Structure 1
Amino acid sequence: MLKIFLKKIIELILVLFFVSLTVFFVFRMLPGDPAQMRLGLSPTPEALTALRMQMGLDKPLIVQYVKWISNLLHGDLGNSMIDGTAVSKMLMEKIPKTFELAVYGTIMSILIAVPTGVLAAIKKKSWIDRFSRGIALFGFSIPTYWLAILLMLLFSNWMHWLPAGGYVSINESFTGHIKTLILPVLTVGIINAAQIFRFLRSGMLEVINQDFIRTARAKGLSKWMVIGKHVARNTLPSLITIIALNFSLLLSGMVVTEQIFAWPGLGWLTIQSILSRDYDVVQGAVLISAVIIVVINLIADLMIVLFDPRIRHTR
């Protein structure tokens, strides 16, 4: 177990190193000058040169990268090039909002996908299975932005039940907070439920056809005993993997949902920073997203090893 943990930690460090290289150098290849965007459309050459020196943009890229990494190792993510706000402060304001959306969306997707996936696998080729697969195919195929717009039109424009977007703090209004939360959570939950359903159903069908399941049935165990004790236990590692992967991707990649519903989370901040060429904010947001993905996948891998001793002995 310790050997696996150390191996994963080394992989985590290498992934974060390459992510830092990629986000730093690739983003600086894009057109646009943050100093010019800060000064306006027609700055004087003297003012532009002075601001670039102040922001450190006149130094070679490798020098800028080394300085950024050095500051990062000391816990300093830098400051926004637009208004000077600390990047760490900006991220700490946005991450809880994205985390809240991801948690509720994941819970909803599990509540939808797990019962329907289990039922579809047990009732293979029945109308329940065909209906569930049809709904899952719809959820898996429809683009996130299209589903978000459909829900917005239905519940906001036509029925006038929910606000079309925005964010209301729970401290301001509990009811208002819940209302602004419903549509983005529905969007996230439906899309991810379709993915979890497909993996769960196929995983259970694969286990059900194994020899040890037929042996368990031959011993006289009831159908639900076989499903609960043997099938579910052997399907659990793959289910943990897909849930952890979806959750980490939600935390780091909920850009479309947050943009459509004007949800001021990490994805929304990343897009706004890219548009304004705010290098330090984008670097901090992408790096934090990478950390989230890698750490959650590390936790998921360790959980799988605990639940499935066979993996422990093969590594």
Structure 2
Amino acid sequence: MLKVLLRKGTELILVLFFVSLIVFFTFRLLPGDPAQMRLGMDPAPEAVEALRNEMGLDKPLVVQYAKWIGDVVRGDLGKSMFDGKPVTELLSEKIPKTFELAIYGALLAIVIAVPFGVLAVLNKNSWIDKTARVFSLFGFSIPAYWLAVLLMLLFAYKIHWLPAGGYVPFNDSPSGHFKALILPVITVGIINSAQIFRYLRSGMLEVISQDFIRTARAKGVSEWSVIAKHVARNALPSLITIVALNFSLLLSGMVITEQIFAWPGVGWLMIQSILSRDYDVVQGAVLMSAVIIVLINLLADLINALLDPRIKHN
């Protein structure tokens, strides 16, 4: 376990270092001057130069990066160039909203994928299996934005059951809060359930073809007992891995869903900050997202190491 922690800790540091490099230098290649955008249309060149100097944009990129990464190590992600709020404060407001949407979406994906995966394995190559595979292919193929717009048109504009978007604080209206959650949760849940189903089905089929499963069946163990006691237990590490991976992808892909449904999470914040060239906010949001994703995958690896002793020695 200690070896796993040390290896994953080293990987975490390297991943965050390269993420910081990529997001810092790539974002500065985008067209547009933050100082000029902040001052509005046709500002005086002297005012632009003075603001660039105040914001530190006149210094070489290497110097800017060194200052920024030094502040990050001390826990300071900077301030928004436009409203002056600390980036940590902005992220602390947005991250819980994104996590709420991601957690509900992941739970819905698991609720859909696991029963269908088990039924597909128990009825391999039957109409149940083929139907489930068709639906998983549908989930793989459709873009999130297309499904989001389709659900919005149907439930919000056609039959008027649910709001088209927006965010309602739970303290203001619990029912309004959960109504606003339904459509984005269905969107991310359906998309991610397809991937979990495919990996779960293939993992269970791989386990079910092994010798110890045939031995259990030869002893007269019922099919449901074989699935519950042997197949599911041995397929659990791969299920945990794919759920963690999908949760990570879900977090990183939340930008589109949050934008469509006007859900004010980290994805929504990143889009607004990119459009306004708010460097520190985008850098802080991407770096924080990378930290969360790496930690989620680290947690999944540790759980798998506990479940499967063979992993401890890798």
Contact 1:252/1:292, CA 8 A, preserved across alignment: no
Note the alpha carbon deviations across 1:254-308, whole angstroms, 9 max, x for none. 0110011000000011111111100000000000010011000000011111111
Q: Which residue of 1 aligns with 2:217?
A: 217
Question: Displacement, 1:170?
Answer: 0.4
- Tell me the TM-score normalised to structure 2 length: 0.98
Name the residue aligned to 2:49. Answer: 49
Instruction: Name 1:141's counterpart in structure 2.
Output: 141
Distance 1:199 1:309 in 2: 22
CA drift of 1:232 comes to 0.5
- 1:130 CA displacement: 1.2
Mapped partners of 1:148, 1:162: distance in 2: 13
Aligned pairs for 1:10-89 (under 5 A) are 10-89=10-89
- CA shift, 1:220, in A, is 2.3
Cα RMSD after superposing both structures: 0.8
What is the match of residue 272 of structure 1?
Answer: 272
Query: How many residue pairs end up in the alignment?
Result: 314
Unpaired stretches in structure 1, ≥5 consecutive residues = none
> C-alpha offsets along residues 139-192 of structure 1, whole Å, 9 cap, x if unaligned?
111110010011001101100000101000001101110110000000010101
Q: Distance in 2 between matches of 1:151 and 1:72?
A: 40
Q: Which amino acid aligns with 1:32?
A: G
Question: Normalising by the residue count of structure 1, what TM-score does the alignment of the two structures yield?
Answer: 0.98
Q: Distance in 2 between matches of 1:136 and 1:15?
A: 31
What is the CA-CA distance between 1:109 and the residue it aligns to?
Answer: 0.6
CA distance in 1, matches of 2:266, 2:293: 14
Counterpart residue identity of residue 227, structure 2: I
Q: Distance in 1 between matches of 2:93 and 2:250?
A: 17
Contact 1:273–1:279 (8 Å) recurs in 2: yes
Given that 2:71 and 2:78 are in contact with CA atoms closer than 8 Å, whether structure 1 keeps it comes out as yes
Aligned to 2:163: 163
Aligned AA for 1:170?
A: F
Structure 1 position 92 matched with structure 2 position 92: yes
Query: Post-superposition shift, 1:92?
Result: 0.6
Contact kept, 8 Å, 1:95 with 1:266, in 2: the verdict is yes
Any idea what SS the aligned residue of 2:277 has? coil
Using the TM superposition, give the Cα deviation of residue 213 of structure 1 relative to its aligned residue in structure 2, in angstroms. 0.8
Instruction: List aligned pairs for 1:179-190, cutoff 5 A.
Output: 179-190=179-190
For residue 152 of structure 2, what is the aligned residue in structure 1?
152
Q: Give the secondary-structure state (helix, strand or coil) at the position aligned to 1:165.
A: coil
Task: Report the counterpart of residue 252 of structure 1 in structure 2.
Answer: 252
Contact 1:266–1:285 at 8 Å: present in 2 too?
yes
CA–CA separation in structure 2 for the residues paired with 1:40 and 1:251 = 33
Cα distance in 2 between the residues matched to 1:140 and 1:122:
23
Match of 1:262 in 2: 262
Q: Is the 8 A contact 1:151 1:183 kept in 2?
A: yes
Map Cα deviations across residues 62-102 of structure 1 (whole Å, 9 max, x no partner): 11111111111111100011121111111111100000000
Q: CA deviation at 1:250?
A: 1.8
> What residue ranges of structure 2 are gaps of 5+ in the alignment?
none
* CA-CA distance at 1:229 after TM superposition: 1.1
Q: Which runs of 4+ in 1 moved over 2 A?
A: none
Partner amino acid for 1:179?
K
Corresponding residue number in structure 1 for 2:204: 204
Q: Which residue of 1 aligns with 2:230?
A: 230
Identity over the aligned pairs, expressed in percent? 74
Counterpart amino acid of 1:115? P
> Shift in Å at residue 253 of structure 1?
2.4
Contact 2:192 2:250 in 1 (8 A): no
1:183-229: CA deviations, max 9, x gaps? 00000101011111111111111111111111111122221221111
Equivalent residues of 1:252, 1:266 under 8 A apart: no
Inter-partner Cα distance in structure 2 for 1:47 and 1:161: 52
